[in-house]
Structure 1
Amino acid sequence: MSNPRADRVKDVAGLAGRSARSKRGLFLAEGPQNAREALARHLAQPCVDAVYVTEEALDHHPDIAALLERVVADRSVFVRLATREVLGAMSDAVTPQGVVVVCRALDVPVADVLAARPRLLAVLARVQDPGNAGTVLRAADAAGADAVVLTAGSVDLYNPKTVRSTAGSLFHLPVTVGADLPELVAAARSAGCGILAADGYGALDLDRLQDASAARAAGAPDVEDVAYDLARPTVWLFGNEARGLSEAEKELADHRVAVPVHGRAESLNVGTAATVCLYASARAQRRGADR
């Protein structure tokens, strides 16, 4: 493909808009990392509709070329070589990275996530920034969380900037969008999960919770009696960048937990705080499993 004004190019470029994505149930995954993860998932669980790639990108990324060979063999995906100009017209990225994948929407119902008896969930409550949402999703993926849930009013998961910021983690774990937070919390609690709200002014200190969990796992005879065991199945609530969790959202939680700030920083952003909290739970749960 060499004509950046072709109808197919315009059709793909239109997916940068939310209305087109919602209407068609498709979104764009751009760049080598997202492409390889999308294609790898597709081979196990079909999710890719089309791939547009430059010859240069295939030369530089033989693993993507190998994945495409397998995809082309089963004829389940529309694959075309394209020029840089065509990919530039398809993408809203400042510097297109040589490959654009059109994927089908991946989100699943909350009921499906809870039916799997999750041990660790990350919930984004009205998080608006694509970069922050992507950071939390990557952190959840790295920490081994079972799913990520975005409430109504959160950033569009399929916004090209959000997808890019996940660096492929979007294709690794279940994600739910548009969830009603009170309903989610009630269902998660019924499924045996504790609910923790990340709150800079929370009464519980994450360091103390981690210390108590480590001592308990080591069999210490006099473990500090703390209000919450991080080793239990947990749903973490993370709030909006500017305002955090609302008072009503905090009230839904069993406890409010603060990440201690030992230096002079005013606070942690939501992506950093989520990373610390999710890893604290993941580590405690692994210790508990080893007991």
Structure 2
Amino acid sequence: MRRALWFYIVVAAAIAVGFGGCITGFILFGESWYQLLIAGALGILFTQVAFLAHEAAHRAILSTGPSNDRLALILGGIVGMSYSWWDSKHSRHHANPNKVGKDPDIEIDTISFLDEDAAKARGIQRLITRKQGWLFFPLLTLEGLNLHLLSVRHLASRGKIKTRWSELGMLALRFAAVLVPVFLFLPLGMAFAFMGVELAVFGVYMGATFAPNHKGMPIIAKDAKLDFFSKQVRTSRNIRGGWWATWLMGGLNYQVEHHLFPGMARPYLSHARGIVRDYCRTNDVPYTETSLWRSYAIVIAYLNRVGLAARDPFDCPMASQYRRG
């Protein structure tokens, strides 16, 4: 545990230095379009903080549950996301990954992950769904804004939320710390461009990290019964790359091990990988691992296949058949 804590201290220090560099650069660049470089860097840094928030929420950083929860709440506030909203959603995902009616991550939200959802699409939604594989990464440029809005909407809802006011206070402080300097010291057009780049980089980075984990992996039927091990391993995909992939994806490149041991700290996941992979080989359980770029190709192909369910019923059947291939 001590080794893991030092690892997270080093990561947090590096992120803090990054934020310090962004503040310095923001001041030095002044009214210059080089500010968009700062905006992009902020999008990357906020995503790295989100990775830490994710691990704290899984109680992988500090020694006690309550201290991890408090840390996750604070880090979520820095990112601009509600910890209570994310924790509820993510806990349901971990309990039933890729299971119809149980996993919120495969529920329709602009993108359809199930054939039956794609078939119900109408209007603009239908047009998007038909090409959703190719549109997936462009749409991720809006995901950062979407995450902020979902968090605020959750905290403004009528349901019981124990940390509502502390989270709202942190979100207000966070958005003020970002928006006030940007719109106070930059020309209006440049300020909007700055925020657009920051949100786009944040959204694409977040989406490009989480999408390879389960999209395109087997879907579990609503009434199917699977043991814990099979359910977690068969629906998860690892990304090759070693230390650079671990840094880039915040440890989520070891998705199989993360789902089997959600409270395991990032430095230990690579060691667990060898044990889990050998166990799967011995017991004939499929263990999926691929490159990052191959995973993106799989996700795009899967989403395009699902999107065929939203095709025009008057399309040529033969053409539709060949598109499936």
When normalised by structure 1's length, the TM-score is: 0.32
**Larger relative contact order (C-alpha < 8 A, sep ≥ 6)?**
2
* Bigger share in strand: 1
